[in-house]
Amino acid sequence: MSHIPGKPAIIILAAGLGTRMKSDKAKVLHEILGKPMVTYVVETAQKVAGNDIILVIGRQAEKVRQIVSETHQVLFTVQKEQLGTGHAVTCALSDIPEHARQIIILCGDIPLLTTDTILRFLDDHVNANRDLTLLAVEIDNPAGYGRVLIDENGYVTGIVEEADATEQQKKIKTINTGIYCVKKEFLAESLLKITPDNVQGEFYLTDIVEIGCKEGKVVGMVVGSDYQEFTGINTVQDLIRVENIMRSR
C-alpha cells in the first residue's frame, strides 16, 4: 500500500471492561459467527489503513493481543487504567506512524461497520479540509446517546450526552457514533486540553469537538446512511441482534 497524502492511521479502542456483558471474557473477544467481534473491526480498518492500525487494549490485554495477532498484524497500546476514551487515544499517540496525516478513531465493538462507510467518511473529511469530522447517524429513538449540536450553518458546535441534555436537545435525532477523523496535529493538541471534570471523572474524547469549535477549527460531520452499521455491542442481547444482521448479510 503506497503512502498517499492524507493516508490515515486508525486507532481502535478495545480496552473496555464490558461489564454489562455479564461475563469474565473481555468484551471485544465475544464471538459473532465464530469470530471475535474485534477482528471484524480490524479487517475493515486494514482495508483502509493497511498495517497502520493501533489497537488500544486493557481488559485481558495479553489475551486480546494473542488472539488478534494470530490473524492480523497491528500495533498494540496498553491502557493500564480505564480513564476514559480521551485517555485511551492519548495512550496511542506515540505509536502513530510518522507519515499518517489523518487519524480515524473507531471502537472495537462495532463489527457491522463497512469499509465503504469509512472511505466515504475519510474522503469527505479530506476534501472539506476539516480539522475534525465526526460520523453521526440519525435514529428515531436517540435515548441514551450523545446528541450532535449544530448551528444554523450546519457546522457542528458540540456533543451533549444524554445526562446533560436539555429537554429541547433530547429531541435531536442526530447522534454521535463515536467515530472520528482528525488531523494528527489537532488531535495531539486537543487531547492535552481535555479535563476530567464530569460525573464519571473521565477524559472524554467527545470534548475535542467542543475544543475545536471554541478554537475556530473546521469541525463538521458526515451522516451515515445505515444506522445498523453503528450498532455497538454492550449486552448479550446486542450480541444476538448483531449476529442476526451479520447472518442476513
Q: State residue 6's pLDDT score.
A: 60
Q: State residue 2's pLDDT score.
A: 42
Show the beta-strand stretches assigned E in the chain. 8-14, 31-32, 35-36, 53-57, 75-78, 102-107, 132-138, 147-150, 156-160, 174-183, 219-223
Prediction pTM value? 0.94
Cell 450532535 identifies what position? 148
Q: State residue 203's pLDDT score.
A: 93
Q: State residue 95's pLDDT score.
A: 97
CA distance 191 to 19: 26
Q: State residue 3's pLDDT score.
A: 43
Pick the catalytic residue from 20, 120, 147, 247: 20
Q: State residue 199's pLDDT score.
A: 78
CA distance 72 to 210: 35
In this predicted model, what pLDDT tens digit does every residue of 160-180 receive, in sequence order? 888 889 999 999 999 999 999
Q: Is 20 a catalytic residue?
A: yes
Residues of the chain with pLDDT below 70 are 1-6
Cell 471474557 identifies what position? 25
Residue 215, amino acid: E
Angle between the N-to-C axes of helices 115-127 and 37-49, in degrees from 0 to 180, rounded to the nearest 10: 40
